[in-house]
Amino acid sequence: MIRLLLILFNLQVRFLMKVHSFVRNKATEADPALKFSNFLYFLFAPTLIYRDHYPRTKTTNWKFVARCFLQCLSVLFIFTVVIMNSYPTPEQWCQKFTPNDILLIVMEKLPYGILVVTGIFFLIFHSVQNLFAEILRFGDRLFYQDWWNAYSFSIWLSKWNKIVQDWLYYYVYRDFREFVCDNGALAKLVVFVVSFGVHEWIMYSWIGGFFPVMFVIFMGVVFPLTFCEFPKWTIFNILVWFCGVFFINLGLLLCAFEHYALLNAPLENPALWELVCPRFITCDCVLR
């Protein structure tokens, strides 16, 4: 049920972003004539930027389609094995923890976090996007760039997901600077707020409650670091890798704590402060 909700929320967000792109593009055209076939193609194409025409390949390579599909199944199988054998069971989530225990769990699961992060990237941004692109003969395959070579957080975030990055640039960053305020730093802040606000909306479908841990981590730590320019040294590339995986792993594990706390100790007639305060702390899963 949780997996189904996550899929539905992701599809909902994707559809809303596509509709905004379509309306934004057609509203500024002198001749907003629309062929329904173009709009229908756009709904399934691996892009969030609407165009009447896209570069197309001549044929569909069905062997490549089959390979991408097998890659998706392989990654999902690996995820199942890793999560079932390396992460705590639902019963273990509700035992008593100290803050040191939580930090120890995060550090112990860091190698698995690397596998999860790279697996999510490979599944969503490589296999799935190339699968749909090949079936639809979509020619523009720049879904990501070499984020693994990034030596700063700004480069890592801009290269990790080019599909969403392009949408944020065209319809949030550029529009904000053109129509609201021509300030690059402020526009960048708005991009982060919109991006991670949507991430929290999706996470809400998994957790079942308000728990903006990813928003706090990325707005409080990662966002200030995007203004820092580091030398192109290997040590900074390793640091970006470690911090990125650590923060994502920390966020996912804390979300799991909150999810099982709400599941095993649900609130009855909660006050406003109880809705905002993390449940895994107030239900005494964490020893003070």
Kindly list the domain boundaries of the chain, sorted by start residue. 2-282
- Number of Cβ within a 10 Å radius of residue 54: 18
Q: Which of 28-32, 154-158, 279-283 has the lowest mean pLDDT?
A: 28-32
pLDDT digits (tens, 9 = 90+) for 14-24: 888 999 898 88
DSSP letter assigned to residue 147: G
Average pLDDT in the 144-170 region? 88
Question: HSE on the CB side for 231, CA within 13 Å?
Answer: 3
Q: Which residues pair with 286 in a beta bridge?
A: 97
Torsions phi, psi of 43, nearest 5? -60, -30
For residue 272, give the amino acid letter.
L
8 Å CB contact between 240 and 151? yes
What's the Cα-to-Cα distance from 89 to each of 12, 100, 244, 285, rounded to whole Å? Answer: 30, 19, 25, 15
Band of pLDDT at residue 80, cut at 50, 70 and 90: confident
Torsions phi, psi of 139, nearest 5? -85, -30
For residue 25, give the amino acid letter.
N
The tokens 């730590």 sit on which residue? 221
DSSP for 18-36, written as a single string = HHHHHHHHHHT-S-----H
- Number of Cβ within a 10 Å radius of residue 276: 12
Burial label for 80, CB within 10 Å (0-12, 13-18, 19+), is exposed
**Among the options 20, 53, 199, 259, which is catalytic?**
199
Under DSSP, is residue 268 helix (H, G, I), strand (E, B) or coil?
coil
8 Å CB contact between 27 and 97? no
Q: Give the pTM.
A: 0.82
Check pLDDT > 60 for residue 109: yes
CA distance 64 to 127: 10
Check pLDDT > 90 for residue 243: no
8 Å CB contact between 228 and 152? yes
Catalytic site includes residue 53: no
